[in-house]
Amino acid sequence: MSDQKNNESNIPEESTAKSNRSPGASTFGFDTMLGKLVVENGLITPEELIECNAILEEAAGSGTVHTLTDLLINHNYVTNRQIDRLQSDFDTRKSTQRIEGYKIIRKLGAGAMATVFLAVQESLDRPVAIKVLPTKFSDNKEFIDRFYKEGRAAAKLNHPNIVQAYDVGLSGEHHFFVMEFVDGITAFDRLEEEKQLGEKEAIQILRQVACALQHAHEKGFIHRDVKPKNIMISSKGDVKLADLGLARAMSDVETAEAEAGRAYGTPYYISPEQIRGKVDITPAADIYSLGATIYHLVTGRVPFPGKNPSDVMHRHLKQDLVPPDHINDSLSAGFSQIIEMMMVKDVPHRYRNASDLIDDIDAVLAGDQPNFAQPTLDFAMLSKVAKSTSSGAPVSPQIESTKVDGKGLMSLFLAFLIISVIANLILIAVLLV
């Protein structure tokens, strides 16, 4: 997991303001750390915190009692909900300080199912990331089983492009998972910085994640949740696939059948077969999700935007993909063709495996055309050809605009010839009737 930039060196060590919040909602430890927490989380700046503390000191001198919490809320710096979230994060951080063998440094991030902390493994004096399951899930067998499945799946994988697993266990009431700490950002963070990535950077991300998937698939696992937020980019430029929370062993028929009919994945990047809840999910599902991820990186937009998750998934199933080089015309024809083949809706026409995908990536990197991916043609215009023959006019069908070079030119010529023959046969048939 990644480190995140913060302004810790400019943060006052703590707020001296006392709180009148009830013991059930707060503790003295939380109140004294609140100032540091709101700055760490980007809710206010260090300068704004200094101003708030000055107001509190002035109020205390006049005999008026204020709390930092009330001041922050009244000045619209934070909401009650944000204060409650900070309280929950603080309680988790405080309790996880007791995980034997690890010293918690700070929170790296939090999601619906876990909070991730930067820590030091004391025996080896190395930085690690520790994912902690919230205590509210401590009695939820499904969440606990999934948490340990992630740890066991990650432990079976050993690849430079996959975040390495170190340990998983229970400390007090906290289930934890220790993994490699990646000093860097996610691909999603990178996209937010640049809005749209160039081909040179994106194809390197694609290749490294494809290698990670090749290893996972060879070990019998499907990731099922490839997306920008699960791709780490280290400060050295190394790319690592993270978060195997939805990973499933291809041999785990029992789990597959139990999950049949339900869609597991992230709507913007999920494959059509996952949407349909298919039992026999193959590595091609991960290739589709990776294709959707790279599409987002190079175009600056998701392949199928929608009003809600259901609408997005419907578009994955039914809507034609706009070729990425129609949005970002700086992309090469070969790279665009690779992304399009990764996102073909029908599994048999998609890349069979990550190995074939890597072969095509290497071909494009070498300046050649892909071996498997071919230029996409608009065969829908054939229906227009058939309709136009009723006027008796000769037809010269136009192939949808696409950039071609090298071997792709011959493919387009042959396709054009075939379409022309079909169109003229239709014309002859109409004239003979």
Active site residues: 225
Token code pair at residue 120: 């030091």
- On whether the CB atoms of residues 120 and 168 are closer than 8 A, the answer is no
Q: What is the DSSP string of 9-73?
A: GGS-S-------S-TTT--HHHHHHHHHHHHHTTSS-HHHHHHHHHHHHHHHHTT----HHHHHH
Nearest to 365 by CA among 357, 376, 375: 357
**SS3 for 245?**
coil
Residue identified by tokens 């949740």 is: 225
What lies within 8 Å, CB to CB, of 180 at 6+ separation is 128, 129, 163, 164, 165, 166, 240
Find residue 115's DSSP bridge partners. 110, 132
Question: Which DSSP category does 253 fall into?
Answer: H
Q: What is the DSSP string of 381-394?
A: HHHHHHHHGGGT--
The Cα 139–Cα 131 span in angstroms is 17
Q: What is the DSSP string of 285-354?
A: HHHHHHHHHHHHHHHSS-SS--SSHHHHHHHHHHSPPPPHHHH-TTS-HHHHHHHHHHT-SSGGGS-SSH
The Cα 154–Cα 149 span in angstroms is 8
Residue identified by tokens 């003295």 is: 28
Token code pair at residue 193: 């910085």
